Amino acid sequence: MAAPKKKSLIDAVAPSTPASLPESKEQSVLALSSTKKRPPSRKGKSFVGGYFDPAAAKELKKLAIDLDISQEAAIAQALNMLLASHGKPPVF
């Protein structure tokens, strides 16, 4: 009796039905973002950030340590001060 033919590795890992490709870049971003899991602490919040010189990041870290607060709290305080200087209400 002959042994049944084994599947190739490619056949074994290939999906049984081809996945449809998103029609646009926006749809692919939405599909990707909906699959990411966020911690409950980040639910309903948005990321606010930027790229700065390493020296600026180092000073922020030092200041946060000196004040015994998180870097996020230091940035929130700075944003409130910026908004106040332009006559806007604080958001934190």
What does the pLDDT look like over 66-83, one tens digit per residue? 999 999 999 999 999 999
Range of the domain at 83: 49-92
Number of structural domains the chain divides into? 1
Report the predicted TM-score, pTM, of the whole model to 2 decimal places. Answer: 0.57
State the average pLDDT for the chain.
85
* 69 to 43, 57, 65, 80, 89: CA distances (angstroms): 22, 15, 6, 16, 22
Structural domain contains residue 44: no
* 75 located within any domain: yes
Does residue 83 belong to any structural domain of this protein?
A: yes
Lowest mean pLDDT among 19-28, 32-41, 54-63: 19-28
On whether residue 54 sits in a domain, the answer given is yes
pLDDT-based confidence at residue 28 (cuts at 50, 70, 90):
low
Joined together, the tokens standing for residue 7 give 């599947």
**Residue 92 included in any domain:** yes
Q: Is the pLDDT of residue 27 over 80?
A: no
Task: For residue 38, tell me if it sits in a domain.
Answer: no
Residue 80 located in a structural domain: yes
